């Protein structure tokens, strides 16, 4: 039964990632590098794929990301002390920051295999992230995204955690079509089987995204 749910979830979640990648069509190879950091977070990502043939800011292909959080964790408001959390993802990512003339809203979709580790918790399974970019002015967009890592799509189910949830929202400025600077707010949390909140970290960070 667990394998059936896992296969069903994979088939449902992989479709938007494939669609996002198909929108970024090109006949050349591209490399994506991302890095960001803040008081309680460090993140970097590396991708290999393609970029749009036109002037749009985008990428589609294989992607690896590693995020480290260092914050005071709480469980239903009760302090658990400061702990480090690592979240690593390997999968398919497709994004277009500014869309095109007909569809100005951009999108960013990632589907893959992720691993989360923190004090007293370890999960490996499928994850899905979707974000949307909304134009503010020329070369500037704001975005909001949600990352979901459910128990249903885990290979090693935790008896106590129902799902992991990550939220981020920020502003992206295109210095060049393929080079962006961004600042964002992030919030990482887990929901237990009793619907209690296990807080992992939150704060603000800034970084850059470069495709070449």
What pLDDT is recorded for position 2? 44
Q: Which of 7-11, 96-100, 133-137 has the highest mean pLDDT?
A: 133-137
| Residue 210, Cβ density class (10 Å: 0-12 exposed, 13-18 middle, ≥19 buried) | middle
Between 42 and 53, whose confidence is greater? 42
- Provide, rounded to the nearest whole percent, the portion of the chain with pLDDT above 70: 83
Name, in order, each residue with C-beta under 8 angstroms of 120's C-beta and a sequence gap of 6 or more.
none
Q: How far apart are CA 11 and CA 64, in angstroms?
A: 21
What pLDDT is recorded for position 138? 84
Q: What is the pLDDT of residues 14-42, one digit of tens each?
A: 444 444 444 444 547 899 999 999 999 99
- Provide, rounded to the nearest whole percent, the portion of the chain with pLDDT above 90: 67
Q: What is the pLDDT of residues 97-117, one digit of tens each?
A: 876 556 678 899 999 999 999
Report which of 167, 155, 156 is spatially closest to residue 130, judged by C-alpha positions. Answer: 167
Domain boundaries defined on the chain = 2-211
Q: How far apart are CA 9 and CA 6, in angstroms?
A: 5
What pLDDT is recorded for position 13? 44
pLDDT value at 203 more than 80: yes
Q: How far apart are CA 146 and CA 150, in angstroms?
A: 13
* Lookup: tokens for 94: 């497709």
Q: What is the dihedral of CA 59, 174, 149, 203, to 10 degrees?
A: 160
What pLDDT is recorded for position 211? 92
Q: How far apart are CA 64 and CA 45, in angstroms?
A: 6
pTM: 0.85
pLDDT value at 151 more than 70: yes
Between 148 and 212, whose confidence is greater? 148
What pLDDT is recorded for position 101? 58
Q: Of 2.40.128, 2.60.60, 3.40.50, 2.40.10, which CATH number belongs to 2-211?
A: 2.40.128
**Alpha-helix runs per DSSP H in the chain:** 2-22
Q: How far apart are CA 121 and CA 57, in angstroms?
A: 37
What pLDDT is recorded for position 98? 72
Q: How confident is the model at residue 45 (pLDDT cuts 50, 70, 90)?
A: very high
Q: Among 7-16, 20-29, 60-69, which is the least confidently predicted range?
A: 7-16
């Amino acid at each position: 039964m667990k394998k059936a749910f896992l296969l069903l979830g994979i088939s449902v979640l992989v479709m938007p990632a494939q669609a996002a990648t198909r929108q970024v069509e090109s006949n050349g190879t591209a490399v994506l590098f991302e890095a960001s950091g803040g008081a309680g977070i460090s993140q970097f990502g590396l991708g290999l794929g393609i970029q749009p043939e036109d002037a749009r800011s985008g990428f589609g292909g294989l992607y690896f990301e590693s995020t480290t959080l260092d914050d005071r964790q709480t469980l239903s408001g009760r302090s658990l002390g400061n702990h480090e959390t690592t979240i690593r993802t390997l999968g398919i990512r497709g994004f277009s920051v500014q869309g095109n003339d007909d569809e100005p809203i951009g999108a960013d979709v990632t589907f893959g295999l992720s691993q989360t580790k923190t004090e007293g918790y370890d999960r490996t399974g499928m994850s899905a992230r979707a974000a949307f970019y909304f134009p503010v002015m020329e070369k500037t967009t704001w975005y909001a995204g949600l990352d979901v890592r459910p128990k249903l799509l885990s290979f090693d189910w935790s008896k106590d955690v129902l799902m992991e949830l990550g939220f981020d929202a920020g502003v992206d400025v295109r210095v060049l079509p393929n080079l962006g600077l961004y600042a964002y707010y992030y919030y990482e949390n887990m929901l237990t089987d009793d619907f209690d909140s296990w807080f992992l970290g939150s704060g603000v960070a800034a970084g850059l995204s470069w495709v070449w």
